[in-house]
């Protein structure tokens, strides 16, 4: 659906162009870059799980920071056509359905990222509910597959459920904050819950 001004998500803006010029497929790279700059998330040698990785900007950014001794497992329901260095493995699948064994190929992880988001349906309540479900799934995966001391970043659409997700993350991590990166489109209700230093890995 596009109104008089068209769909803003389809318009290549300055950030989209800058991302392409720097070799990234999407402008979302600047959100992770800002979060990384602000909380010092990524460094050389880390193992990273990237949930909702298509078209591949976060996985490519993470792969460059973790370097050849690090590993990135990139998961999405969609095909990812981006070319990556050898430290990245791509797997197609639904993070809500994949077993933790499949998600844990490079685990235990130092960082679990989730930029997972619904394909917006136009039904705001349904999209918010799905975003909440994706965020909680990412948190459960991070608890199960993250090292003690590992970090977590997950997108969530603002809704009445937001505080539930924020509280759940706050209980798992030593420090928890909410970041809305500068690169977020004005009309978007998305924010990122950032948990630093996992207190206790679930089941271990």
Ligand X SMILES: C[S@@+](CC[C@H](N)C(=O)[O-])C[C@H]1O[C@@H](n2cnc3c(N)ncnc32)[C@H](O)[C@@H]1O
- List the catalytic residues: 155
Q: Which residue is nearest to ligand X (CB)?
A: 52
Q: What is the residue-wise DSSP string for 67-102?
A: -TTSEEEEEESS-------TTEEEEES-TTTS-HHH
Minimum CB–partner distance for residue 188 and ligand X (Å): 10
Question: DSSP characters for 11-66?
Answer: S--HHHHHHHHTT-SSTTHHHHHHHHHHH----TT-EEEEES-TT-HHHHHHHHHH
CB of 96 to ligand X, least distance (A): 5
| Touching ligand X, residues 153-172 (CB under 6 A) | none
What is the C-alpha separation between 73 and 159, in angstroms, rounded?
A: 29
Cβ 93 vs Cβ 79: under 8 Å = no
| φ, ψ for residue 30, nearest 5 deg | -70, -25
| Near ligand X in 78-137, by CB under 6 A | 78, 94-96, 115-117, 134
- Given a contact cutoff of 8 angstroms between Cβ atoms, the answer to whether 179 and 192 are in contact is yes
**What is the smallest separation between the CB atom of 1 and ligand X, expressed in angstroms?**
19
Task: Give the number of residues in contact with ligand X, rule: CB under 6 A.
Answer: 23
Considering only residues 17 to 56 of the shown chain, the ones binding ligand X according to CB under 6 A are: 25-26, 28-29, 51-56
CA gap 51, 94 in Å, rounded: 9
Nearer to ligand X by Cβ, of 133 and 170: the residue is 133
Query: Which stretch in 40-48, 74-82, 99-107, 138-146 sits in contact with ligand X by CB under 6 A?
Result: 74-82
User: Between residues 74 and 201, which has the closer beta carbon with respect to ligand X?
Assistant: 74
DSSP letter (8 states) at residue 107: P
- Measured between its terminal Cα atoms, the distance across the chain in Å is 47
Nearer to ligand X, 141 or 169 (CB): 141
Nearer to ligand X, 32 or 169 (CB): 32
Q: How far is the CB of 130 from ligand X (least distance, A)?
A: 8
- Least Å distance between CB 160 and ligand X? 21
Contacts to ligand X by CB under 6 A: 25-26, 28-29, 51-58, 75-78, 94-96, 115-117, 134
């Amino acid at each position: 659906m596009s109104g008089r001004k068209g769909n803003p998500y389809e318009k290549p803006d300055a950030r989209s162009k800058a991302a392409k010029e720097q070799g990234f497929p999407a402008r979302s790279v600047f959100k992770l870059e800002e979060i990384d700059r602000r909380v010092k998330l990524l460094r050389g040698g880390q193992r990273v799980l990237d949930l909702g990785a298509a078209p591949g900007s976060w996985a490519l950014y993470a792969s460059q920071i973790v370097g050849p001794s690090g590993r990135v497992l990139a998961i999405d329901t969609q095909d990812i056509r981006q070319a990556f260095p050898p430290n990245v493995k791509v797997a197609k699948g639904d993070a809500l359905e994949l077993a933790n064994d499949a998600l844990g190929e490079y685990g235990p992880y130092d960082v679990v990222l989730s930029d997972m988001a619904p394909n917006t349906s136009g039904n705001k309540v349904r999209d918010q509910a799905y975003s909440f479900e994706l965020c909680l799934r990412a948190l459960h995966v991070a608890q199960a597959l993250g090292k003690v001391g590992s970090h977590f970043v997950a997108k969530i659409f603002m809704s009445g459920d937001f505080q539930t997700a924020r509280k759940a993350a706050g209980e798992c991590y030593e420090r928890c904050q909410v970041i809305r990166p500068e690169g977020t489109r004005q009309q978007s209700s998305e924010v990122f819950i950032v948990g630093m230093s996992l207190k206790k890995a679930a089941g271990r």
